[in-house]
Each structure stands twice: as structure tokens, then as C-alpha cells.
């Protein structure tokens, strides 16, 4: 096949991948849903940053590094500054990242791994219909991180070729791409370092000294400068959520979930990896390819598994796996079907097409497991009353009102109020001082106190020693006691079950309190996020009513 014809076919199948991704997005992804609860946190940071307030949770307060997707937040803010809405910036950047990653999967397999067109196209299609666009619809920046993970791994695969001396520019490109991956999310540093380790495994240390020196210099110079800047800017060396979700303990439940998520997302590819152990030469490749995949999946033992919507923490490993499997099938005799009769050959072709279709279908089915309470594959989560409540509270924006809430996504973002994230992911005092205190609440005197827990006026909380030892339960009891001791009015306890509810207390001594109490208590559109059903207001059964 001539070079010109090969290029024409590659361009044709690239355009087909783009068309397939867009067709899939239009017909099978729900872009009408509001942001997922946790995604709205980053949107708040991006909005404040674009408005010139700095990287802050509350305007006018000290910067907080709660937006762990740092570079994605900054890039979104830049697009907002150019005139896009927050939603357009976040989703647009995510969609473009997903599309580019699909193309990188195809072209890196074709040019770096020298794979054939069917294998390369299947790899791109597997990613196209996977969970990437579901993260985009939920307003997460996950595809942006996956894009640079794919770029960095593509460069790493080029550097693994021990028949060529690694060039300075290729080594520099790998180091810079790894640095960007680390700037998008902190664990990107771990992923890039594991990729370097995979290159060392393939080439040997002696043949990789220049690469190690370049990698170390880039991370020490530019990464070190960023690290010192952010330590000075935020006041702490690590992202704020790490102090809440990480700590000194190992999280073995997160470790198990991470490995299972990785296996689930990459199951068909993991089966192919077994083929890599059929010869010594391929075994070395297979181990090298597994170093960043298994190493990164294992690294999540360091933090809790909170906020891991749709296994998004492990999603970056999917493009890595899709870029790694094609070299492992090398050496097979694909000429065998040419020796078969027409009938036999037709059966093989149909079976192969069915197999490829089943692999793509498997990838699509991962969209059915984005949340534990998902009711169908096309809609990851239902209507959310916190979204409607946030829009209601937005009518009082600009009056200096404060909300203290365990639900720090939709309510703070859509209301625009000063917000206390009582769990501490977006509050340095709470994250670094062991939890919420009465004194801290007194400092703000919140106008609305809202929390989520598993009791109600019909099912009162059981104040046992074991229950109070649970950090979430003890926090909500503190908030409940604080509100009742200071004369707050219980406006609503929304839920579609008395065993799982959202409490809303309103302070009674500010100008809009009476009106706000009335609007919250009579709200008709408070849908429960797990079911999409209209919630009951169990406050009507309270002794205070």
C-alpha cells in the first residue's frame, strides 16, 4: 500500500471516528442534566477566578485549593474570561479533550505501535462510546486529564524503543507533558513518574540517564516553582481535600475499589494483556505497560473514595490500556483465514465483526454504572432538589447571606452565597483543625443551615456512642443542635423517605427570613436526587410545627 493511500485511509477513519463520537454524543448522552453535585464545586472556583477574585471559595476570603483539577479550572476560567458561560467553558473543554483523545488513540496506535487500521479504529471507538462523554455531561474535567495522560504515554511508548537513542526534544516533550498532567491533577505526578519507570524498565537505567536528567530538571525547575508558588498562595503544600480525604491512614477500601474500577473499565483489554506473556520479549513489554496502570490504580490507597463518580479517578487508565494492547498481539498469523474456504472465511469475518461490536457495546455499558442509584443507562442521575433550591436562594444573592451546608456543590454554586463547606473539602480551617466547631459557626452566623443525614422528625437520630463516633453523623448533630439552640426555624426536612433527608434551618432575625422560610417550606420542586421523585417535607411532622 502506498504512503499516499495509507495517509488517505488514516484521515478517512479519523473523520469516521469524529463523526461516530458526535453521533453518539447527540443520540446517547444527556446534556440537559445540571452539574453533578461534586462537579459544581470546581465551577464555583472557575467562576470566581474568571471574575478576578483569585482561586477562592468565598469572594473576599483567603484562597483555597479545593479545586484539585487545577489546570482544568484555570483553563475553564480563561474560556469564561473570553465570553463563554461557565457551563459552556467546562463542557466545551471536556468535549474537545475527549475528541482529541479518541484521535490520539487511533494515530498513536497507527504511527507509534504500527498497528493495523481495524485495531486502531476499534481502540478509538472503544474510548469514544465509553464513560468520557458522561463525565462531560456531568461537568467533570476528567477527559482533560485523560487527554494529557494519553499524550504523555504516547511519548513514553516512543521512548521505549531501545533501538533508538532518545532525542533531547522527545525527552523534553515527555517531561513537559508529564508536568502538565501533574498540574491538571496532583496524582498526575504519580502517573508520569510511573511512565518514566516503565521506560527505565524497557531501556535500562544506563541508556536512560539523559532522559531521567531532563525529566528531573523539568519537574524540579518548573514543578518546583509551581509547588512553591501554590504553597505561598494557599498556605499549605497539598490540595485542601487531601487533608480531609487522605491523612496518615491507608484506605484499603479505596484500593480495592480502584483495582475493581480499573478492571471493569478495561476488562476486554486486560484479557489481551495475558497474551503478552506468551514469549519473553512480549512479557517484558506487557510488564512495562502494566507498571503505570497497576501502579496508578494502587496509588488510590492513599485517599478515600469519596466523589469518585463513575470511576472517574481511574478513567485516565483507559486510554493507556488502549494504547498498549496492540503491540501485544504482534506475531499472530493473520494470514490463516486466507487458507480457508469462502464459507469458513465468511463465518470468521462475521464472528470477528460480532466480537468487535460486543467490545464496543461493553464499553458503552459502563455508562450504566456511573452512580450506585442510577435507574437507566442514558440518565446517570435524576432531577436534584438542591439545584432548584440553589436557584431559589440566588434571588437573595448580593445581600451578604451565608449558608452552612454539607452539600457544597449545587447550593453554593447556584445561590452565589457565601458558603461554609461544613465537611471541609473547601474550607481550610475545618480540613486542618479536625472538623466543624460551634465557634466557627458563630464566626459566620449562617442565615441558612442545611445538612444531609439519615434521620428525620419521624425517625429521630439515635445518639449512641457508636453513631456519634462517626464523623458525618456527629457533624450533622452539631449543626442540628446549634440551629435549635439559637432559635433557627426548621423550614423543611425534604426526602422521599424519612430515613434519608435534607434539613433546612433558617435564622429568624434577618429581613428576608420570614419570606425565605415560607418559600422553602412550600417548595414543590424539591426532587430527591436518588429517585427523581418529589420529596415530602417531614418538617410538618416536627414537634415545633
Per-residue H/E/C for 332-395: CCCCHHHHCCHHHHHHHHHHHHHHHHHHHHHHHHHHHHCCCCCCCCCCCCCCCHHHHHHHHHHH
From the list 397, 401, 419, the residue with the least C-alpha distance to 410 is: 419
Helix, strand counts (H, E) of the chain: 24, 6
- Give the distance, in angstroms, between the CA of residue 349 and the centroid of all CA atoms in the same chain: 38
Query: How far is residue 237's CA from residue 456's CA, in Å, rounded to a whole number?
Result: 40
Q: Can you give the pLDDT at residue 220?
A: 97
Q: Can you give the pLDDT at residue 105?
A: 98
3-state DSSP assignment of residue 212: helix
Q: Can you give the pLDDT at residue 185?
A: 94
Ranges of residues in the chain with a pLDDT under 70 are 1, 162, 246-248, 331-340, 344-345, 348, 543-545
From the list 216, 224, 221, the residue with the least C-alpha distance to 175 is: 216
From the list 23, 25, 79, 9, the residue with the least C-alpha distance to 47 is: 79
Per-residue H/E/C for 151-211: HHHHHHHHHCCCCCCCCHHHHHHHHHHHHHHHHHCCHHHHHHHHHHHHHHHHHCCHHHHHH
Query: How far is residue 543's CA from residue 259's CA, in Å, rounded to a whole number?
Result: 48
Q: Can you give the pLDDT at residue 7?
A: 92
Q: Can you give the pLDDT at residue 544?
A: 58
C-alpha distances in Å from residue 302, one per residue of 31, 189, 190, 248: 33, 14, 12, 8
Give phi and psi for 209, each to the nearest 5: -60, -40
Biggest distance spanned by C-alpha atoms of the chain: 87
Query: How far is residue 420's CA from residue 402's CA, in Å, rounded to a whole number?
Result: 8
Within a 10 A sphere around the Cβ of 505, how many other Cβ atoms?
28
3-state DSSP assignment of residue 490: strand
Q: Can you give the pLDDT at residue 68?
A: 86
From the list 386, 390, 391, 395, the residue with the least C-alpha distance to 515 is: 395
pTM assigned to the model: 0.94
C-alpha distances in Å from residue 144, one per residue of 239, 241, 440: 19, 20, 36
C-alpha distances in Å from residue 461, one per residue of 414, 424, 453, 475, 476: 30, 23, 9, 13, 10
| Residues 6+ away with beta carbon under 8 Å from 232 | none
The angle, 0 to 180 degrees and rounded to 10, between the axes of the packed helices 142-159 and 168-184 is 160
Query: How far is residue 417's CA from residue 433's CA, in Å, rounded to a whole number?
Result: 24
Cell of 326: 496492540
Going by the DSSP 8-state scheme, the letter that residue 534 receives in this structure is B
Q: Can you give the pLDDT at residue 545?
A: 53
pLDDT, tens digit (0-9, with 9 covering 90-100), for 122-134? 999 999 999 999 9
Q: Can you give the pLDDT at residue 227?
A: 94
Query: How far is residue 276's CA from residue 325's CA, in Å, rounded to a whole number?
Result: 9
Q: Can you give the pLDDT at residue 346?
A: 72
Amino acid at each position: 500500500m502506498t504512503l499516499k493511500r495509507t495517509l488517505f485511509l488514516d484521515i478517512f477513519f479519523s473523520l469516521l471516528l469524529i463523526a461516530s463520537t458526535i453521533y453518539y454524543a447527540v443520540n446517547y448522552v444527556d446534556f440537559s442534566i445540571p452539574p453533578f453535585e461534586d462537579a459544581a464545586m470546581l465551577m464555583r472556583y472557575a467562576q470566581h477566578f474568571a471574575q478576578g477574585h483569585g482561586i477562592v471559595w468565598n469572594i473576599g476570603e483567603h484562597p483555597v485549593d479545593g479545586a484539585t483539577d487545577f489546570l482544568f479550572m484555570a483553563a475553564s476560567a480563561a474560556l469564561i474570561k473570553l465570553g463563554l458561560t461557565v457551563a459552556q467553558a467546562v463542557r466545551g473543554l471536556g468535549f474537545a479533550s475527549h475528541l482529541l483523545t479518541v484521535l490520539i488513540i487511533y494515530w498513536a496506535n497507527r504511527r507509534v505501535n504500527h498497528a493495523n487500521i481495524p485495531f486502531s479504529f476499534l481502540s478509538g471507538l472503544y474510548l469514544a462510546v465509553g464513560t468520557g462523554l458522561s463525565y462531560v455531561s456531568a461537568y467533570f474535567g476528567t477527559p482533560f486529564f485523560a487527554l494529557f495522560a494519553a499524550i504523555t504515554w504516547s511519548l513514553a511508548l516512543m521512548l521505549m524503543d531501545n533501538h533508538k537513542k532518545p532525542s533531547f526534544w522527545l525527552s523534553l516533550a515527555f517531561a513537559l507533558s508529564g508536568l502538565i498532567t501533574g498540574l491538571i491533577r496532583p496524582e498526575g505526578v504519580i502517573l508520569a513518574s510511573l511512565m518514566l519507570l516503565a521506560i527505565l524498565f524497557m531501556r535500562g537505567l544506563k541508556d536512560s540517564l539523559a532522559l531521567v536528567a531532563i525529566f528531573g530538571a523539568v519537574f524540579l525547575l518548573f514543578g518546583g516553582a509551581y509547588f512553591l508558588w501554590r504553597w505561598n498562595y494557599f498556605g499549605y503544600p497539598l490540595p485542601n481535600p487531601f487533608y480531609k480525604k487522605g491523612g496518615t491512614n491507608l484506605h484499603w477500601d479505596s484500593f480495592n475499589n480502584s483495582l475493581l474500577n480499573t478492571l471493569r473499565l478495561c476488562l476486554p483489554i486486560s484479557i489481551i494483556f495475558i497474551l503478552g506473556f506468551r514469549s519473553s520479549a512480549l512479557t517484558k513489554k506487557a510488564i512495562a505497560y502494566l507498571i503505570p496502570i497497576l501502579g496508578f490504580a494502587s496509588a488510590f490507597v492513599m485517599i478515600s473514595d469519596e466523589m469518585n463518580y463513575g470511576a472517574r479517578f481511574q478513567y485516565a487508565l483507559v486510554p493507556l490500556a488502549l494504547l498498549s494492547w496492540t503491540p501485544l498481539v504482534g506475531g499472530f498469523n493473520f494470514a490463516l483465514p486466507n487458507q480457508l474456504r469462502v464459507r469458513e472465511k465468511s463465518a470468521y469475518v462475521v464472528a470477528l465483526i460480532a466480537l468487535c461490536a460486543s467490545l464496543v457495546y461493553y464499553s458503552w455499558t459502563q455508562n450504566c454504572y456511573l452512580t450506585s442509584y442510577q435507574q437507566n443507562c442514558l440518565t446517570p442521575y435524576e432531577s436534584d432538589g438542591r439545584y432548584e433550591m440553589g436557584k431559589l436562594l440566588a434571588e437573595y444573592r448580593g445581600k451578604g447571606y451565608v449558608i452552612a451546608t454539607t452539600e457544597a456543590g449545587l447550593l453554593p454554586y447556584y445561590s452565589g452565597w457565601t458558603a461554609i463547606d461544613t465537611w471541609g473539602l473547601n474550607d481550610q480551617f475545618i480540613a486542618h483543625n479536625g472538623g466543624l466547631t460551634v465557634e466557627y459557626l458563630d464566626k459566620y452566623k449562617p442565615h441558612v443551615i442545611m445538612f444531609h443525614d439519615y434521620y428525620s422528625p419521624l425517625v429521630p437520630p439515635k445518639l449512641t456512642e457508636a453513631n456519634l463516633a462517626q464523623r458525618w453523623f456527629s457533624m450533622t448533630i452539631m449543626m442540628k443542635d446549634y440551629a435549635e439552640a439559637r432559635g433557627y426555624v426548621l423550614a423543611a426536612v425534604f426526602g422521599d423517605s424519612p430515613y434519608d433527608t435534607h434539613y433546612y434551618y433558617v435564622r429568624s432575625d434577618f429581613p428576608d427570613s420570614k419570606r425565605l422560610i415560607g418559600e422553602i417550606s412550600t417548595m414543590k420542586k424539591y426532587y430527591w436526587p436518588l429517585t427523581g421523585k418529589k420529596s415530602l417535607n417531614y418538617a410538618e411532622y416536627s414537634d415545633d410545627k
